[in-house]
Amino acid sequence: MHIPDGYLSPKTCGVFYAVMAPIWYLAARRLQKTLHAKEIPLLALSAAFTFVIMMFNIPIPGGSTGHMVGGVVAASVLGPWAAVISLSLALTIQAFLFGDGGITTLGANCFNMAFLMPFAGYYVFHIIAAGNPGQRRKWVALFIAGYVAMNIAALAVAIELGIQPIIASSPDGIPLYAPYPLSVTIPAMAASHLMFFGLVEAIGTAMIVSYVFKTNEAMLYKPAANPLKPLWIALIILIILTPIGLLAKGAAWGEWASEKLTAVLGYLPEGLKGLEGLWTSLMPDYNIPGFNSHAKSALGYVISAAIGSSIIVLIIYLAGRIWKKG
Amino acid sequence: MEKGIKIPDWLKSAGAPCSCCAIGRGKGFIEKNIEAIASFIKEVLLPEGFANKNGLLQAIDPRAKLLGVILLVIAAAMLKNIPALAGFVALAAVLAAFSKITASALLKRVWPVLFFTFVLVLPTAFNFITAGDPVTITSFSVNHHDLYISRQGLEGITVLLLRVAAMVSLVSLFMLTTNYPDVFRALQSFPIPKIFVAALSMTFRYIMVLIKIAEEGHLARKARTIKPSTVRESRGWLANRIWLIMERSLEMAEDVYLAMTARGFSGEVKTMTAFEMKGRDYAWIGFAIFVFLLSVQL
């Protein structure tokens, strides 16, 4: 579930950091409204709690055990927005201190496990447990919420890995990052998560949260308004937008050709042409005649990199001086 | 203290009737959890001690070190050809050598990811996944379908393995040469809200407290178990433990908050930044930017 460094292309990593930035911001804003100064210890402790449950082996029927992510447990206890933050904190500690999941892929890992998972689980639970559910329906709702949330996260991982050969292969077809196409990653992730990891998450979620329901329901997060309201709003917006979708040109979402995907992700296949262009415009003398031969152009690269890095260090140095005085 | 205490035979035998809550074959979840907790505590409390050695990376300010490592990691993520990526692996090895980090310590961190990746991508070497020019010696025919290792597949595997090796080694080098508190202090100087960094270092601290509660619960259960329990019982017990940890963590959050308030905390995080960039830190960042810019052009 944790994607390590090196599996995703830099563009993909950048996109997911960019997607997570507003989510983190929104989550922090929402928490500030409800928790104020209490938020720091509460977030830290709940992140620590999430980290600890990720370490547990959960026994499942048949004698085997597996690890759970705990995304839905966190969402049930803390609410989905606080779960985003505490799961992100737990994932950051795992990535930085214990090498579980990468640093460049942290944005993507947080998107899968700290955003998709708690929200999917939270809404699935509230749809099934709408109204006044009995204990059995709660248990079933939690089970399905854990199962669905885990599989949605796994599908996201499969898509992230599977698009790598499309967006980042060298001209002669050599995959540069995760090598399997979607036709392999989706069945592989689906099989392992539908059969095993989804079950672990489902059982873990149901047993932990239903236990809390029985013993101390006050510990669980209570949505202020109808928790399904945002879903209704999203549904209405979608219904309104559907006719527009029919009129719109272009391929359907997710059915892009590789050129379209390139355009959507801003990916530049051959080297980083944009940066090279920027470079040339910054240093017009870069292409001086006589620098065309291979060795000389290599020397040109080295010189321009040296000049560029010296300028940046100079700027950092000056900024450091000014900052120190200020 | 009469001699009338009778210890049943089964309790005296070395092979206890319960291989610790094993349900079915193999180790039970209690034993597995105790092992996981123990190895975690060992890893945190007994770092290999490389962070305090007198080496190259240890001498660099943690802020500068983190910035440089992140630049190098991004550079390694962008590279597209085998020689350049091999160069990065060599760079990591040289940095490790100058930082007095043993190969075994570095491999201990890099090997699991690398091995997992290798097994995962091995099938892509064959032409049924990655079509391409055959590497002739391996060609053979099954039912008139040629099965061979393709050059493109082999290159793809090499690129991915070298990239993972380079990136994971660089991040591991940072972690091995930096003390835990310094990691958090380094993060403070990055454009991340201070609240998150403060919460992050508190998270790390309280993981140890909560894991201790978990460990005690598991050990107590292990000590009291004399016969295998059913899956249902085990799950009930584990749910109870996790609930306890959850409740303790929420209580503790309240206590910590009150303690912080008593000490004058008003919601604003103040941090001590005692780091000062020196010449060598600038040299390191300069080197990292140099490599980064070079990789952008390759």
Inter-chain touch B198–A302, beta carbons under 8 Å: no
Please report the pLDDT score of residue A251 as a whole number: 46
Residue A142 forms contact with B (CB below 8 Å): no
Contact list, A52 vs chain B (CB under 8 Å): 207, 210-211, 214, 245
pLDDT band at A267 (very low <50, low <70, confident <90, very high): very low
Q: How far is A49 from chain B (nearest CA, A)?
A: 6
Q: What is the pLDDT of residues A151-163, one digit of tens each?
A: 999 999 999 998 8
Please report the pLDDT score of residue B72 as a whole number: 92
Inter-chain touch A63–B26, beta carbons under 8 Å: yes
Better-scored residue on pLDDT, A274 or B70: B70
pLDDT greater than 80 at residue A13: yes
Q: How far is A228 from chain B (nearest CA, A)?
A: 26
Residue A47 forms contact with B (CB below 8 Å): yes
Better-scored residue on pLDDT, A248 or A202: A202
Better-scored residue on pLDDT, A235 or A148: A148
What does pTM read for this prediction?
Answer: 0.79
pLDDT band at A145 (very low <50, low <70, confident <90, very high): very high
Please report the pLDDT score of residue A242 as a whole number: 58
Phi/psi for B205 (5° steps) reads: -65, -45
Neighbouring CB atoms inside 10 A of A73's CB total: 29
Please report the pLDDT score of residue B142 as a whole number: 62
- For B292, which residue in chain A has the nearest alpha carbon? A305
Inter-chain touch A38–B253, beta carbons under 8 Å: yes
Of B33, B70, B277, the CB nearest to A57: B33
Inter-chain touch A58–B240, beta carbons under 8 Å: no
Neighbouring CB atoms inside 10 A of A47's CB total: 31
d(CA B113, CA A105): 14
Interface probe, candidates B249, B265, B269, B291, chain A, greatest A C-beta count within 10 A: B249
Better-scored residue on pLDDT, A111 or B23: A111
Which two structure tokens, joined as six digits, stand for B168? 């994971």
Residue A104 forms contact with B (CB below 8 Å): yes
Inter-chain touch A312–B289, beta carbons under 8 Å: yes
Contact list, A279 vs chain B (CB under 8 Å): 296-297
Residue A17 forms contact with B (CB below 8 Å): no
3-state secondary structure of A220: coil
DSSP B134: B
Contact list, B235 vs chain A (CB under 8 Å): 58-59, 203, 207
Q: Mean pLDDT check: name the lowest of A8-12, A137-141, A173-177, B255-259.
A: A173-177
Q: Mean pLDDT check: name the lowest of A105-109, A191-195, A220-224, B185-189.
A: A220-224
Contact at 8 Å (CB) between B162 and B85? Answer: yes
Q: What would the mean pLDDT of A276-295 be, rounded to a whole number?
A: 48
pLDDT band at A241 (very low <50, low <70, confident <90, very high): low
Greatest alpha-carbon pair distance for chain B in Å reads: 84
Q: Mean pLDDT check: name the lowest of A33-42, A277-286, B125-134.
A: A277-286
Please report the ipTM that was assigned to this predicted complex.
0.82
d(CA A113, CA A93): 14
Q: What would the mean pLDDT of A271-296 be, rounded to a whole number?
A: 47
The domains found in chain A, sorted by start residue, are 10-265 (1.10.1760.20), 273-325 (no CATH)
Contact list, A306 vs chain B (CB under 8 Å): 290
d(CA A316, CA B121): 41
Low-confidence ranges of chain B (pLDDT < 50): 1, 16-17, 19-25
Phi/psi-derived region of residue B240, left when phi > 0, alpha when psi is between -120 and 50, beta in every other case: alpha
Inter-chain touch A175–B124, beta carbons under 8 Å: yes
Nearest C-alpha neighbor of A76 from the set A124, A148, A108, A30: A124
pLDDT band at A78 (very low <50, low <70, confident <90, very high): confident
Please report the pLDDT score of residue B271 as a whole number: 64
Please report the pLDDT score of residue B48 as a whole number: 67
Q: What would the mean pLDDT of A241-246 be, rounded to a whole number?
A: 55
Sign of CA pseudo-dihedral A237, A243, A247, A249: positive
Q: How far is A115 from chain B (nearest CA, A)?
A: 17
